[in-house]
């Protein structure tokens, strides 16, 4: 210990000076004294000037970079004059690049042409409405125009100024969650356009009001047709069911595989499948969706949201979300189409409460599959197709997420089945024929 403290000053002159051993070195440093007197001035010239120049250059560079970044923000602001401050923030952070083509205005200008008025403001091809305009469309949100009430809020039927019908969803959820769902739907649907997704015609973010305006789907939800109140509607035919299964598979093929980064719906269920006048299906409600860019190794850890009976087991238990969670939910809807049963029904006998648990061991047994078929079909279906659909459903709802198929594979397996329907019924009548017999 002692030797260390003795030796250290001699080896480290700087420390020695501080420790009062300055005299020991003084004589050695004498010849340099003159040199030390002139060094500070030269050092100032050699060191300080380049430092100042470097700082100046860096500042100029920084200003150039900042000016370049400011440019696109200016453009956004000027093109979106009708959008509130909060929406401007929304645009700024929406930087995901989707593969799909840029927003095309499929709905066209809702207020254009004959009215003689200037078209209303648009955001990426989606119409921006004022609250007043929607009051007019819904007769002041009259009770007689209420067509539903879901997790987002009350849904109204409305007639837009060009005479077209729309479904107008009024957000009633307080707080962040509702606002997130609203912004996400506007953001995603103004970028993603597919004939297999219900089209967003516009939105309203007038003061505290938040409303979404969708194309009107005259035949309501798949849930209403599969599980109707007694005597409410005629059952969907086998052909229509196949076509719905195909349309939904195409919607997910688009969201998962034709969109980059992929979009996970997270709340797919029969009430989020809407049917048009020809019973063509479209998927709706992307308010709970997750965008794939958040994911690590293809999987996102997230709070579990969605609907009981449709949630993939790994997502329900651990919150791990992948596109395969949607594949599971799709499989549940396929089982609903096949059996006419709801995903969870506690009124059924023990062992039959949960649709997947009841169906899974039966799906690969040909005789048992026939026993599972929705009695409302009254035997009007193709057994060959039934076995194939049952096999697809079994793959989709299996517990091991990795073994579930990609939606592209599901689409490919359904193509021959729907093609068959089209060739048997060349007109579109198979959509209307409520009883498609095994071979028409």
Ligand X SMILES: Nc1ncnc2c1ncn2[C@@H]1O[C@H](COP(=O)(O)OP(=O)(O)OP(=O)(O)O)[C@@H](O)[C@H]1O
For residue 395, count other CB atoms closer than 10 A to its CB: 18
216 to 275, contacts with ligand X by CB under 6 A?
A: 216-217, 220-221, 271-272, 274
Q: Out of Mg ion, ligand X, none, which partner does residue 421 contact, by CB within 5 to 8 A per kind?
A: none
Q: Which of 50, 113, 119, 150 binds ligand X (CB under 6 A)?
A: 150
147 binds, options ligand X, Mg ion, none, Cβ within 5 to 8 A by partner type: ligand X
Shortest Cβ 200–ligand X spacing (Å): 10
- Binding partner of residue 374 among ligand X, Mg ion, none, CB under 5 to 8 Å per kind? none
Smallest separation, CB 272 to ligand X (Å): 5
Candidates 148-156, 352-360, 371-379, 432-440; binding stretch for ligand X (CB under 6 A): 148-156
The residue assigned the tokens 């470097």 is: 54
Cβ at position 212, least distance to ligand X in Å: 9
Question: Binding site residues for ATP, as ranges?
Answer: 169
Of 255 and 417, the one with the shorter C-beta distance to ligand X is: 255
Q: H or E element: which one contains 147?
A: strand 146-149
Q: Which residue among the candidates 187, 247, 267, 374 is catalytic per the annotation?
A: 267
Quick one: which segment of 118-126, 176-184, 211-219, 426-434 binds ligand X (CB under 6 A)? Answer: 211-219
What's the burial of 439, exposed, middle or buried (CB within 10 Å: 0-12/13-18/19+)?
exposed
Residue 186 CB contacts under 8 Å (≥ 6 apart), including other chains? 90, 123, 126, 200, 203, 212
Q: Give the interface segment with ligand X, choosing from 23-31, 215-223, 340-348, 361-369 (CB under 6 A).
A: 215-223
Cβ(103)–Cβ(190) below 8 Å: yes
Q: Does 106 bind ligand X (CB under 6 A)?
A: no
The answer to whether 267 is a known catalytic residue is yes
Q: Are strands 126-128 and 200-204 parallel, antiparallel or unpaired?
A: parallel
Beta bridge partners of 126: 123
Cα dihedral 64→65→71→77 (10° resolution): -130
CA distances from 394 to 338, 383, 405 (A): 12, 16, 10
- Smallest gap, in angstroms, from Cβ of residue 268 to ligand X? 10
For the chain, the C-alpha Rg in angstroms (whole number) is 33
Is 217 or 327 the residue whose CB approaches ligand X more closely?
217
When asked if residue 82 is in the footprint of ligand X (CB under 6 A), the reply is no
Tokens 């995901």 -> residue: 96
Residue 167 found at the interface with ligand X (CB under 6 A): yes
Binding residues: 169
Span near ligand X by CB under 6 A; candidates 75-83, 146-154, 314-322, 369-377? 146-154
CA distance 97 to 275: 29
Could you tell which of ligand X, Mg ion, none binds residue 152, using a CB distance below 5 to 8 A set by kind?
ligand X
Distance CA 121, CA 128 (A): 5
Q: How far is CA 61 from CA 52, 56, 168, 178, in A?
A: 14, 9, 50, 42
* Residues carrying an active site annotation: 267
């Amino acid at each position: 210990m002692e030797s260390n403290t003795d030796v250290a000053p001699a080896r480290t002159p700087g420390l020695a000076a501080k420790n009062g051993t300055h005299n020991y070195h003084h004589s050695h440093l004498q010849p340099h004294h003159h040199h030390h007197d002139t060094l500070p001035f030269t050092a100032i010239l050699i060191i300080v000037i380049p430092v100042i120049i470097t700082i100046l250059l860096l500042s100029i560079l920084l200003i150039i970079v900042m000016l370049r970044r400011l440019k696109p923000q200016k453009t956004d602001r000027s093109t979106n004059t009708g959008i509130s401050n909060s929406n401007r923030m929304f645009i700024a952070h929406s930087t995901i690049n989707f593969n799909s083509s840029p927003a095309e205005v499929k709905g066209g200008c809702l207020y254009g042409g004959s009215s003689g008025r200037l078209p209303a403001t648009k955001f990426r091809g989606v119409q921006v409405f004022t609250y007043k305009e929607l009051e007019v469309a819904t007769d002041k949100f009259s009770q007689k125009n209420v067509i539903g009430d879901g997790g987002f809020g009350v849904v109204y039927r409305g007639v837009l100024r060009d005479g077209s019908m729309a479904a107008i969803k009024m957000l009633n959820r307080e707080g962040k969650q509702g606002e997130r769902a609203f912004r996400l739907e506007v953001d995603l649907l103004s970028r993603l356009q597919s004939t297999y997704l219900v089209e967003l015609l516009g939105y309203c973010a007038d003061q505290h009001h938040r409303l979404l305006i969708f194309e009107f789907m005259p035949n309501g939800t798949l849930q209403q047709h599969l599980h109707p109140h007694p005597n409410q509607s005629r059952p969907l035919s086998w052909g229509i069911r196949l076509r719905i299964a195909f349309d939904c598979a195409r919607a997910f093929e688009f969201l998962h595989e034709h969109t980059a980064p992929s979009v996970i719906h997270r709340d797919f269920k029969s009430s989020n499948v809407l049917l048009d006048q020809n019973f063509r299906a479209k998927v709706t409600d992307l308010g709970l969706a997750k965008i794939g860019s958040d994911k690590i190794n293809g999987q996102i850890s997230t709070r579990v949201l969605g609907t009981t009976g449709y949630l993939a087991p790994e997502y329900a238990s651990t919150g791990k979300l992948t596109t395969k969670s949607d594949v599971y939910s799709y499989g549940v809807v396929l089982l609903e189409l096949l059996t006419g049963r709801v995903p969870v029904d506690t009124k059924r006998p023990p062992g039959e409460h949960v649709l997947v648990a009841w169906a899974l061991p039966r799906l690969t047994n040909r005789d048992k599959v026939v026993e599972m078929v929705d009695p409302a079909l009254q035997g009007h279906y193709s057994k060959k197709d039934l076995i194939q659909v049952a096999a697809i459903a079994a793959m989709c709802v299996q517990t091991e997420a990795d073994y579930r198929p990609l939606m592209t594979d599901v689409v490919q397996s359904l193509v021959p089945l729907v093609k068959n329907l089209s060739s048997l019924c060349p007109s579109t009548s198979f959509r209307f024929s409520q009883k498609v017999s095994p071979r028409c």
